[in-house]
Structure 1
Amino acid sequence: MADITKKIGDLDVFPLSLGGNVFGWTADKDTSFAVLDAYTGGGGNFIDTADVYSAWVEGNDGGESETIIGEWTASRGNRGDVVIATKGGRHPDHDGLSAPVLKAAVDDSLRRLRTDYIDLYYTHFDDPSVPVEEIMTTLDELVAAGKIRQIAVSNIEPDRLAASLAFSEREGTARYAAIQPEYNLVARDSYEGPRRDLAEQYGLVAVPYYGLASGFLTGKYRPGASVDSARAGKAAKHLETERGNKVLEALDAVAEEQGVPVATVALAWLSAQPTVVAPIASARTLDQLPPLLEVPRTELTAGQVDRLTKASA
């Protein structure tokens, strides 16, 4: 089989990143281990998490997902075979991006992940109270110390992103290799436009989150479907829009043509977009994983991409 890996700086990644937000939340340790085993067994190597996962759960402190991933790599002896991306800036103990907070957050992530380096480190949410010069200089120091291989950015306004990239270019510091935006067939404006323009200008690649729109783009939410959780409500709201229903109709048609699940098609459309190297999607059960592993092996025709793009306009 041809090599399907993509590049993020000097990192070789599988074109579908496994989201770790469910580990320690809706997936317990044993289930998380099983999902991680199945993902890597299917050729995957790119795992996404954050230090704040899952502090919102009663009884959790944050760091549960990183801890599970660290225990899994230690038990499997495969740290060198996987690319681990984590994020900092929102953990209850390390909120913000000042130099001391960021350095402490990275050290705690390293401890929980049971590793001495993080492959890809994102600033999770921007901290406008901290000058971009301080953030970029701190990240550069962490790269120089060998604690981080590549740096990246998630939720940030275009003007701050532009200033960060310009500073790195001007001062010769480590620079962002990737951006993690919210991006999917029913949420395009959050990335398409100034953020994507900057990514293209500076050579950043995109690793989108919410690629399945909280489950809506799996096709399981249909008119009349029962909605029994806040997450389901967030997904089902798209049924109230003309665009949401047009997207579902187009996804159904393309999925039938391709002979793959609707979720696979939604993520394959994302993979076909400029700058995107690896959408993120999570699986809280083993049966949710196969449609994700099909994404890198599903190549939509130009006509199918165009049909989905027009339906989601």
Structure 2
Amino acid sequence: MKYRKIGTDPQHRREVSALALGAMLFGTVVEEERAFAVLDRFVEAGGTFLDTANNYAFWVNGTQGGESEALLGRWRRSRGITDEVVIATKLGGRPKAPGRDFFNPEGLAPDVIRASSARSRANLGVERLDLLYAHADFMDVPQKDVVEAFASLVADGSVGMIGASNHWSWRLESWRALADAAGLPGYEVVQYHHTYLRARGDVPGRRSKDGDQGLFSAELMTYLRSRPNLTLVAYTPLLSGAYVREDRPLGELHDHAGTRARLRALHEVVRETGATANQVVLSWMIGGDLPVIPLVGASSVAQLDESLEAVDLELTADQRALLDAAH
């Protein structure tokens, strides 16, 4: 396993594995026995970075979520896991009432931030959340209130690091400016959907008619290059199996000419390395000049092992150049 540091505050900075494991469907689609086996294998291989959210996975059984956090809490207790594993969770997207409605989220009002973070601590069985993200941006709440509410959790010791997920980059900068001006801790990790294939920017997003603020973009890349202390965690890097499974089409988001060029380059590197397309994509992300921590899901140990093997796959300079140049 490879590792990297996240965070800048010496008191809370942590070393985590270069590959993160997502627990979104643990406790619902992936039952406890299989989930525990995957988690055990991840830790056995040196994995130390887990990801969940307080609303996972409400849409499966029509709940308000929390099943994933609760399963991770049971796994921690049964295995005696303490500070050696960093668990990130998120708030803001939990539905206000049980159901499958994605358009009735709790949001980021200060009282919601306090209550939901406390619920997550209880679910996970921890006194302090290692990393807490704002799951999405909600412009109906003054951002100053959001910044202050998250900072207060760091101040009272209930949160170690703050993260921001699915925000426009100008809103990231606004958050940073507000925190800096007030001398408050700001976000240190950001999470977006990112993969080797480039997404179209003109497809309406899940949260905005102007596009999906959860998509990684060239503009966001320039922002992160200007902020080298930030860590990028990339969710759905393997496109839910679309790189390797014919029954998983790419869909509208990647329906453009550049996709075909990049897939040709990807398959050339697959032939040269003998690795799978998934492994090449993960290796490209982990070892790039803008380092990324891919966040992968796994419903079986075999799936996880494929991703774990990618950590040790070293692409040559020529292979990286081929992948980067395709457009």
- TM-score normalised by length of structure 1: 0.89
| Correspondence for 2:266 | 251
User: Which of 205, 226, 232 does residue 231 from structure 2 map onto?
Assistant: 205
Cα contact 1:54–1:65 (8 A) shared by 2 = yes
Q: Distance in 2 between matches of 1:250 and 1:275?
A: 20
Q: Distance in 1 between matches of 2:142 and 2:310?
A: 39
Cα contact 2:282–2:311 (8 A) shared by 1 = no
Cα distance change of structure 1 residues 152 and 274 upon mapping to structure 2, 3 Å threshold? farther
| 1:270-281 map, 5 Å | 270-281=285-296
Q: Distance in 1 between matches of 2:132 and 2:255?
A: 37
Q: Distance in 1 between matches of 2:19 and 2:235?
A: 11
SS in 2 for 1:207: strand
SS in 1 for 2:226: helix
Shift of 1:274: 4.1
Matched, 1:51 2:54: yes
Amino acid in the other structure paired with 2:18: P
Matched length: 299
Matched, 1:180 2:191: yes
Shift of 1:120: 1.0
Structure 1 residue runs without a partner (length 5+): 222-226
Shift of 1:239: 8.3
Cα distance change of structure 1 residues 155 and 270 upon mapping to structure 2, 3 Å threshold? same
Q: Distance in 2 between matches of 1:192 and 1:273?
A: 16
User: Which of 38, 42, 53 does residue 35 from structure 1 map onto?
Assistant: 38
Cα contact 1:272–1:305 (8 A) shared by 2 = no
Q: Distance in 2 between matches of 1:283 and 1:243?
A: 28
| Correspondence for 1:138 | 149
SS in 2 for 1:90: coil
User: Which of 123, 129, 138 does residue 134 from structure 2 map onto?
Assistant: 123
Cα RMSD (Å): 2.0
Amino acid in the other structure paired with 2:6: I
User: Which of 3, 27, 36 does residue 5 from structure 1 map onto?
Assistant: 3
Cα distance change of structure 1 residues 176 and 308 upon mapping to structure 2, 3 Å threshold? same
SS in 1 for 2:60: coil
| Correspondence for 1:75 | 78
The CA deviation string for residues 264-292 of structure 1, in whole angstroms up to 9 with x for no partner, is 11111122334434110100111101121
| 1:96-245 map, 5 Å | 96-187=107-198, 190-202=215-227, 203-217=229-243, 219-221=244-246, 227=247, 232-233=248-249, 235=250, 241-245=256-260
User: Which of 281, 288, 292 does residue 266 from structure 1 map onto?
Assistant: 281
SS in 1 for 2:15: strand
Cα distance change of structure 1 residues 239 and 136 upon mapping to structure 2, 3 Å threshold? closer
- TM-score normalised by length of structure 2: 0.85
User: Which of 290, 296, 299 does residue 284 from structure 1 map onto?
Assistant: 299
Structure 2 residue runs without a partner (length 5+): 8-12, 97-104, 202-214
Cα contact 2:285–2:292 (8 A) shared by 1 = no
The CA deviation string for residues 143-190 of structure 1, in whole angstroms up to 9 with x for no partner, is 111111111101011221111011112221111111101111223563
